[in-house]
Amino acid sequence: MHLTRYSDYSLRVLIFLGIKGKALATIPEIAEAYGISRGHLMKVVNTLGQLGYVETLRGRGGGLKLGMAPEKIGVGQVLRQTEESFALVDCFSADKASERHCAITPTCKLRGILAEALQAFLRVLDQYTLADIIEGRAAPLKRLLQLA
């Protein structure tokens, strides 16, 4: 299983905003802290805003903050909303051409096993929230991200 950069950046933004608390952050500040592209972050923040995870305040003195309490931001739910696909193998795709790509798809048991493993993966992530990630870690995270 490999998560996309989009989901990775989504979780990083949420962690950053979670440790900032009520203080506002900016996209350039987050991009610099993680050493990632502002352009990518703009897309990620836009999506997170549409989903209600991030609140954006426009204008002079504006910025970003969490749109809900860290305890309400489930890791599994964020990934379900930011990953394009959880297709572990071609035959997971809804595209019928991908099923024809593998000669054993009609009788293959591996597909079911991988689907079960994926559900287990998501169940584990559903047990955790943003609060679990940042709880007791704010000080070291702030140091690593060079936040005052």
pLDDT at 100: 55
pLDDT category at 98 given cuts 50, 70, 90 is: very low
Report pTM: 0.86
Domain extent listing, the chain? 5-144
pLDDT in tens, 114-144: 889 999 999 999 999 999 999 988 788 888 8
Rg (CA), the chain: 18
Residue 45, both tokens: 């923040």
pLDDT > 60? residue 96:
no
Cβ count near 73 (within 10 Å): 26
C-alpha dihedral, 45 to 20 to 25 to 55, nearest 10°: 50
Determine the Cα–Cα distance for residues 29 and 51; give it in Å rounded to an integer: 22
Report domain 5-144's class. mainly alpha
Query: CA nearest 126: which of 138, 118, 114?
Result: 118
Q: Are 105 and 111 in contact (CB under 8 A)?
A: yes
